[in-house]
Amino acid sequence: MVCSMAARLDLEKVTFAVIDDNSNMRHLVRTLIISFGARTVYEAEDGASGLEIIESYGPDIVVTDWVMPLIDGLEMTKLVRNPDGFKFPYTPIIMLTGHSEHRRIIQARNAGITEFLCKPVSARALYTRIKTIILHPRPFVRSASYFGPERRRLPSEADLDSRRQEDDVFDLEKTAKQG
């Protein structure tokens, strides 16, 4: 199954950095990425070492854990997403974590994470995120408070906006009838 997925996307020249404090998880993710066809995978056991790898080698895609010693994955992402102070601020970053609470997903999105995956990870899910990053890259945006990939709206936010619009329309109609 994994081999047939890799045949559709040539990853031989795509470089990766896997940043996770758990050596077993780093090994698993590295093995999956290599099975997809990649040849170059750098590894780091914390965010500080991860920053050094990103600065030194400029990998095409980073896969990072959230909770790590020294600098966690979220703080590392914020440091990478500094276009005025970091060498590779446009690097796609996949957050791979066991912490999938709604508030954490929002925090990751707002820090500039490109894709979010929950542990345990499947080969298909990781491959799909990598494929999306390569074939459908998201444009980067810069505002006073954010630099990173265009943030996707969460379904709950879209529902809130549509409810707000419906409420606004209702209020306008009500006001027009009263006036």
Is 157 part of a structural domain of the chain?
no
Asked whether the predicted pLDDT for residue 154 surpasses 60, the reply is no
Q: Is residue 9 part of a domain?
A: yes
69 assigned to some structural domain: yes
CB burial readout 91-121, b (16+ within 10 A) else e: bbbbbbbebeeeeebebbbebbbbbbbebeb
Note whether residue 168 is domain-resident: no
Q: What is the mean pLDDT of the chain?
A: 85
Q: CATH number for the domain including 133?
A: 3.40.50.2300
Task: Tell me whether residue 16 is in a domain.
Answer: yes
Q: Flag whether 159 is in a domain.
A: no
Q: What domain range is 35 assigned to?
A: 2-150
Burial of 87 (0-12, 13-18, 19+ CB in 10 A): exposed
Has residue 41 been placed in a domain?
yes
Predicted local confidence at residue 134, as pLDDT: 96
For the chain, how many structural domains are there in total? 1
User: Could you report the per-residue pLDDT of 2-60, keeping only the tens digit for each?
Assistant: 444 534 689 999 999 999 999 999 999 999 999 999 999 999 999 999 999 999 999 99
Task: Report the distance separating Cα 157 and Cα 153, nearest Å.
Answer: 6
The pLDDT assigned to 1 comes to: 41
Q: What is the pLDDT of residue 151?
A: 80
Pick from 19, 21, 37, 24: which is nearest to 91 by CA? Answer: 19
pLDDT (average), residues 90-109: 95
**Quick check: 112 pLDDT over 70?**
yes
Task: Please state the rounded mean pLDDT for residues 64-90.
Answer: 95
Cβ-contact 126, 31 below 8 angstroms: no
Mean pLDDT lowest among 65-69, 137-141, 159-163: 159-163
Which residue's entry shows tokens 């990853």? 11
Radius of gyration of the CA atoms of the chain, in A: 19
β-strand 15-19 against 40-44: which pairing, if any? Answer: parallel
Question: For a pLDDT cut of 70, what percent of the chain falls above it?
Answer: 80
**Is 25 contained in some domain?**
yes
- Does this model's pTM top 0.75? yes
